[in-house]
């Protein structure tokens, strides 16, 4: 199976299937019921949040058949000639539907000339035409275009949503994700349904049996081993700079993506603080992580982990912002450990 097969297979087919975008779905469903359909929509949000899927569902719900739905990739068809061709096409009546729907993906990639040509169509569109512009970068769209569209902002799914989705999809595919494996898949999904499906595709394709462990996810994705993450967190709690720096070096020698390592460290530190200050969350957090990680979180949420506090988390947040921007990939994490565990800068 290709990496995107799961995403295609489990792409939402109707509004009820859409996850985490109720604020968009409810308004669109309401507009269909009342007949107050706009001539132009703008779907804005980061990659993999469901913009194109919702556009297709909306087009279908208003009665547009496949022959009257046109999907245009603005990254490949961004010039004025492409838009002129589109402008000529909109004047032709639909083949078999009440509407012709044009879904323009990556709309921010259009050229200035193309935007000017599109603007004329948006100002006076034929009654049978509906435009849905989708973009990950709204700020690159001219205000004249934005002002003529009904705008919807798509939210990035949180980690819990992605974790539950990964568990559900794996189950439908006949696999069982261990709790720690599902957590790691969700973290690596980085707020994208599409990316999470892609990672899950790799994992289950490479699984030797029907049960997927965290170790299998680490092996397939190149994510840092749980032991390395725990070692860094333990080093911070004990203010042991040598242990922390040794763990970071081991991750580097294993060609681990430092941004992923930083994200996992932040997540562990966060869980420790949540258990410390919101004990009622213990049950749900315990279900999210593996047994070894839970024991670490539980232990360091007490007196032994007092060196882990909001200032510690903030220091690693600052380090995370620099990851990928330095000549030495591990440097921001190393500096954070030296400052926290070594006592510098106080």
CA–CA separation, 187 and 157 (whole Å): 11
- Structural domain includes residue 146: yes
Chain centroid to Cα 84, Å, comes to 34
- Structural domain includes residue 11: no
Q: Which one of 194, 221, 248 terminates a domain?
A: 221
- Structural domain includes residue 74: yes
Residues 170 and 214 in one domain: yes
Region for residue 326 given its phi and psi (left: phi exceeds 0; alpha: psi -120 to 50; beta: otherwise): beta
pLDDT at 78: 64
pLDDT at 79: 65
Phi, psi angle pair for 229, to nearest 5°: -60, -45
Measured at the alpha carbon of residue 166, what is the angle toward residues 163 and 172, in degrees to the nearest 5? Answer: 145
CATH number for 117: 3.40.50.300
Residues 216 and 231 in one domain: no
Residues 82 and 183 in one domain: no
Residues 264 and 173 in one domain: no
Residues 33 and 126 in one domain: yes
Residues 144 and 197 in one domain: no
Question: Which has more confidence, 345 or 165?
Answer: 165
- Structural domain includes residue 275: yes
* Token code pair at residue 334: 């190393």
Question: How many structural domains comprise the chain?
Answer: 3
- Structural domain includes residue 305: yes
- Structural domain includes residue 5: no
Name the residue with tokens 């439908």.
Answer: 172
Q: Which one of 204, 221, 238 terminates a domain?
A: 221
Confidence label for 2 from pLDDT (cuts 50, 70 and 90): very low
Residues 65 and 140 in one domain: yes
281 is in which domain, residue-wise?
Answer: 226-341
Predicted TM-score (pTM) above 0.85: no
pLDDT higher than 90, residue 159: no
Residues 33 and 137 in one domain: yes
CATH number for 242: 1.20.272.10
Of the candidates 264, 270, 279, 259, which has an alpha carbon nearest to the alpha carbon of residue 319? 259
Residues 199 and 135 in one domain: no
List pLDDT tens digits, range 187-234: 999 889 999 999 999 999 888 889 999 999 998 888 899 999 999 999
- Structural domain includes residue 14: no
Residues 142 and 26 in one domain: yes
CA–CA separation, 86 and 69 (whole Å): 13
Kind of pairing between the strands at 69-73 and 211-212: unpaired
Residues 333 and 233 in one domain: yes
- Structural domain includes residue 12: no
Spatial CB neighbours of 105, under 8 Å, sequence gap ≥ 6: 51, 52, 71, 72, 73, 74, 75, 134
Confidence label for 74 from pLDDT (cuts 50, 70 and 90): confident
CA–CA separation, 20 and 38 (whole Å): 23
CATH number for 183: 1.10.8.60
CA–CA separation, 269 and 139 (whole Å): 34
DSSP E strands, the chain: 40-44, 69-73, 100-105, 129-135, 150-153, 176-177, 211-212
Q: Which one of 131, 153, 175 terminates a domain?
A: 153
Spatial CB neighbours of 161, under 8 Å, sequence gap ≥ 6: 19, 20
Of the candidates 279, 331, 325, 334, which has an alpha carbon nearest to the alpha carbon of residue 301? 279
């Amino acid at each position: 199976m290709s990496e995107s097969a799961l995403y295609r297979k489990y792409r939402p087919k109707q509004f009820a299937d859409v996850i985490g975008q109720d604020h968009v779905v409810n308004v669109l469903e309401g507009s269909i019921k009342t007949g107050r359909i706009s001539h132009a929509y703008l779907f804005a949000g980061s990659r993999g949040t469901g913009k194109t899927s919702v556009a297709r569902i909306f087009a279908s719900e208003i009665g547009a058949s496949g022959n009257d739905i046109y999907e245009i990739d603005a990254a490949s068809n961004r010039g004025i000639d492409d838009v002129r061709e589109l402008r000529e096409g909109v004047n032709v009546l639909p083949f078999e539907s009440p509407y012709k729907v044009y879904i323009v993906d990556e709309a921010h990639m259009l050229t200035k000339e193309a935007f000017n040509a599109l603007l004329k169509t948006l100002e006076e569109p034929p009654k049978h035409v509906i435009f849905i512009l989708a973009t990950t970068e709204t700020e690159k769209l001219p205000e004249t275009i934005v002002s003529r569209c009904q705008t919807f902002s798509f939210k990035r799914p949180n980690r819990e949503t992605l974790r539950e989705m990964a568990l559900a999809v794996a189950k439908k595919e006949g696999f069982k994700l261990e709790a720690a494996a599902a957590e790691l898949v969700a973290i690596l999904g980085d707020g994208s349904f599409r990316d999470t499906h892609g990672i899950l595709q790799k994992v289950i394709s490479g699984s030797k049996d029907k049960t997927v462990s965290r170790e299998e996810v680490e092996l397939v994705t190149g994510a840092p081993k749980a032991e390395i993450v725990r070692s860094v967190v333990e080093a911070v709690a004990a203010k042991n700079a040598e242990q922390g720096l040794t763990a970071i070096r081991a991750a580097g020698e294993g060609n681990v993506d430092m941004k992923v390592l930083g994200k996992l460290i932040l997540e562990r530190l966060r869980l420790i603080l949540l258990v410390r200050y919101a004990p009622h969350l213990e049950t749900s957090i315990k279900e999210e992580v593996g047994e070894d990680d839970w024991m670490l979180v539980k232990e360091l949420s007490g007196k032994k982990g007092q060196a882990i506090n909001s200032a510690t988390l903030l220091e690693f947040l600052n380090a995370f912002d620099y990851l990928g921007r330095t000549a030495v990939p591990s440097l921001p994490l190393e500096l954070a450990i030296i400052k926290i565990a070594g006592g510098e800068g106080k």
